[in-house]
């Protein structure tokens, strides 16, 4: 129930004039000229990049607009604020000129913009959930086939997000390194991607890979086991088995901490605090690209205030940072209001 909103009107030329209301900043560019980055204002890359790749898909798109952008997804927190913006811009362009773009097309255009214009080697998961999300459902996404499967959130269960307020930057941080390490592991196994490696196949060659590159081996172990945990988590949700879901979330966090090495002490501490209250009735783990950002917790509604209290009482004392606490609902993906 957090997102990005865009309101705009057509112009009688090919100029895009944009006002980012939350930043109180403007940007302007022409759709009849090659769209280039504006290095002085990072946020403009997500808008310019999407428009550029919309034009690649729909070369006739030259319709100018005045638009205002605002959003309440926390920035640089691992909550996909960039994907939310990209998908909103893509949908705006589609509506502006009645372009033949599906929501999946818009998601993939957002990924292209982030990869090739902004320079972050992200996958397509964040854009797909922003485009295809369903009310009161989690979405199982196959990022290769682009197939999706909605999974109902069990009744009386809350989704809690806690922002550590440790900021990260996927472009200048370690994200791209992890991506290249996973690609190296896939090459080692002779597959397109690590999803094609089973846990048994990984274990068979784990020692060999560790000798080759111990860091690459750890990254691969995380991805291979995490893929299985996703499938197991879907099964647990379908069975309403929150205890099993919580177990899997704990294993996932441990793997991100020890094998993928993308957590930080503040995030680990938030997970620890949440888990004290939640126990076996749900779970908690880091979410997002890592190196700061947020945790996600799943807990019975009646435990939300106790989770809020234990974190409020301890986190700032321990870290010197004040957390932000959100109780969320799964909402519909991109739409016209």
3-state secondary structure of 79: coil
CA atoms of 77 and 291, how far apart (whole Å):
9
3-state secondary structure of 198: coil
Q: Which residue has the tokens 């972050």?
A: 120
CA atoms of 16 and 152, how far apart (whole Å):
39
Phi, psi dihedrals of residue 9, rounded to the nearest 5°: -135, 155
Q: Is 221 exposed, middle or buried (0-12, 13-18, 19+ CB in 10 A)?
A: buried
Catalytic residue among 22, 72, 126, 136: 126
Q: Is 115 exposed, middle or buried (0-12, 13-18, 19+ CB in 10 A)?
A: middle
CA atoms of 144 and 142, how far apart (whole Å):
5
User: What is the full DSSP assignment across 128-148?
Assistant: HHHHH--TTEEEEE-TTT--E
How many CB atoms neighbour CB 45 within 10 A?
Answer: 23
CA atoms of 311 and 105, how far apart (whole Å):
40
In the residue annotation, 126 being an active-site residue is answered as: yes
Catalytic positions: 126
């Amino acid at each position: 129930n957090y997102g990005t909103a865009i309101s705009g009107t057509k112009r009688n030329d090919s100029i895009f004039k944009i006002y980012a209301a939350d930043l109180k900043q403007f940007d302007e560019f022409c759709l009849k000229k090659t769209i280039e980055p504006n290095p002085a204002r990072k946020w403009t890359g997500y808008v310019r990049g999407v428009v550029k790749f919309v034009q690649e898909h729909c070369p006739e798109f030259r319709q100018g607009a005045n638009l205002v952008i605002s959003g309440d997804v926390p920035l640089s927190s691992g909550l996909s604020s960039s994907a939310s913006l990209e998908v909103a811009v893509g949908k705006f362009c589609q509506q502006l000129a009645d372009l033949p773009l599906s929501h999946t097309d818009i998601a993939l255009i957002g990924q292209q913009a982030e990869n090739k214009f902004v320079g972050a080697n992200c996958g397509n998961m964040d854009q797909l959930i922003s485009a295809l999300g369903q009310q009161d459902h989690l979405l199982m996404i196959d990022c290769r086939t682009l197939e999706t499967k909605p999974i109902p959130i069990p009744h009386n269960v809350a989704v809690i997000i806690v922002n550590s307020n440790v900021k990260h930057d996927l472009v200048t941080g370690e994200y791209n390194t992890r991506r290249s390490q996973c690609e190296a592991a896939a090459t080692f196994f002779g597959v397109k991607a690590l999803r094609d490696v089973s846990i048994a196949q990984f274990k068979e060659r784990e020692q060999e890979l560790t000798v080759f590159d111990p860091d690459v081996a750890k990254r691969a172990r995380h991805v291979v086991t995490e893929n299985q945990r996703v499938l197991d988590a879907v099964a647990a949700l379908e069975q309403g088995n929150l205890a099993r879901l919580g177990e899997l979330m704990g294993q996932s966090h441990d793997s991100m901490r020890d094998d993928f090495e993308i957590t930080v002490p503040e995030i680990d501490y938030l997970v620890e605090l949440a888990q004290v209250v939640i126990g076996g009735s749900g779970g908690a783990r880091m979410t997002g690209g890592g190196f700061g950002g947020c945790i996600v917790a799943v807990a019975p509604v009646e435990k939300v205030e106790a989770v809020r209290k234990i974190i409020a009482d301890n986190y700032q004392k321990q870290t010197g940072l004040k957390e932000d606490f959100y109780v969320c609902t799964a909402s519909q993906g991109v739409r016209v209001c």
